[in-house]
Amino acid sequence: MSQSRPLPCIDQRLLRVGLILHARTKGFWGTAIRKVQGAWGNHDALLWHEAGAWWVLDAEPPVARLTPFNEWEARMRAGKAQIRFYWPYGARSMDGREAAKWWLRHVNNSPYDRWAFPRLLWRSLIGPWWKSQAGRDEAWWCTESVRAAWRSAAFDPWGENNATPALTEEAARAGRLDDYTPVILPNVNS
């Protein structure tokens, strides 16, 4: 008789506004992003709480939007995504609220920055010598929007332009982001 793995369960009481959701999805683009970057994950977003519910501040095609947190949790429970949670080292709850509010004012309903992909691909293959920001000023990709939001709250664990999920993982390994995953998702081996 085989043992089944318990379904992951997120204790939403432990979430906080501004917490970084770092995801690994199973679709074509998610897999391609991970392979090119050599990263575990392929998506970053912030969390927001409003009207008694949790939301994910997602910069995904075609436009940046609020996604019900329960949709991400359902993807995880269905095996279509794995999730980690990060928080900038030294940040307070009020800093997370400031970052999320900035995202809502400046990123929400903006177009997804598909124009940045050629430069980000080049950067992944050649290295980070290209210092200027990829893409268009009025459009955002996932990690770029998360970094800009946290920079508005005076925290920049990424430390450079053109932030990607691989750079998020580098910041976590270096201790600039605290990993809250074991607390929020106990007994889940991400």
pLDDT at res. 116 = 58
Neighbouring C-beta atoms of residue 188, cutoff 10 Å: 18
Q: Which residue has the higher pLDDT, 123 or 25?
A: 25
Helix (H) / strand (E) element for 120: namely: helix 117-126
- In this structure, are residues 162 and 134 in contact, taking their beta carbons and an 8 Å threshold? yes
Max avg pLDDT among 73-77, 116-120, 136-140, 158-162: 73-77
- In this structure, are residues 46 and 40 in contact, taking their beta carbons and an 8 Å threshold? no
What token pair was written down for 27?
Answer: 């679709």
Task: Give phi and psi for 169, each to the nearest 5.
Answer: -65, -35
The pTM of this model reads 0.86
Sign of CA dihedral 74, 75, 76, 77: positive
State the CATH architecture for 12-184: Alpha-Beta Complex (3.90)
Query: Cα–Cα distance between 129 and 131 in angstroms, integer?
Result: 6
pLDDT higher than threshold 90 for residue 161: no
Strand partners, 59: 64
- In this structure, are residues 15 and 25 in contact, taking their beta carbons and an 8 Å threshold? no
User: What three-state secondary structure class fits 111?
Assistant: strand
Mean pLDDT of the chain: 86
Average pLDDT estimate for 158-168: 89
Average pLDDT estimate for 71-84: 94
| Closest by CA position to 169, among listed 83, 58, 41, 76 | 41
pLDDT at res. 190 = 47
Query: Cα–Cα distance between 74 and 93 in angstroms, integer?
Result: 26
pLDDT at res. 95 = 98
Chain segment 19-73, per-residue pLDDT in tens: 999 999 988 777 777 777 778 999 999 999 999 999 999 999 899 999 999 999 9
Max avg pLDDT among 50-54, 120-124, 159-163: 50-54
What is the Cα gyration radius of the chain?
16
pLDDT at res. 139 = 72
Longest dimension (CA), the chain: 56
